[in-house]
Amino acid sequence: MTEYGDRFAAAVAEELRAQKARVGKTNDEIGEEVGVSPVTVLRYLKGQRQIPVDVLGDLCKALGADAGVIMQTALFKASSSPVASAASQLEKVIGRKIEVEKAAYRDDNKQAESGRSEDVD
């Protein structure tokens, strides 16, 4: 498998694990619904074993997940390079800092305006 394929498969497994946590099902329950052993479910969800397409559909059904959403999210994660991911995180941090600074600026202006209105009285 290519590097991209490995990232995509890992992202699919990650999304399935997240969905499993949301619904609170055990590997035993999922395995019974899908028709595989709990150990196989564990290996699929840890990315230790490739998930055949038909099994992916069954896993999504057992977890109440939309396979299209799982695949689209995995596609996005696999397509993001480490540099793009770091840049995205940096943008979030900078964006938060700017919002904090704007709020502080507004607060300072409100205090200054209220101080002026008291001086006028």
Reported pTM: 0.65
Q: Which of 30, 32, 24, 54 is nearest to 42 (CA)?
A: 30
Residues 82, 45: Cα–Cα separation, whole Å = 23
Question: Read out DSSP for 28-76?
Answer: HHHHHHHTS-HHHHHHHHTTSS---HHHHHHHHHHHT--HHHHHHHHHH
pLDDT in tens, 35-86: 999 999 999 999 999 999 999 999 999 999 999 999 998 888 888 766 555 6
Q: Is 33 a residue whose pLDDT tops 90?
A: yes
Residue bearing the bigger pLDDT, 7 or 107: 7
Q: H-helix or E-strand containing 62?
A: helix 53-63
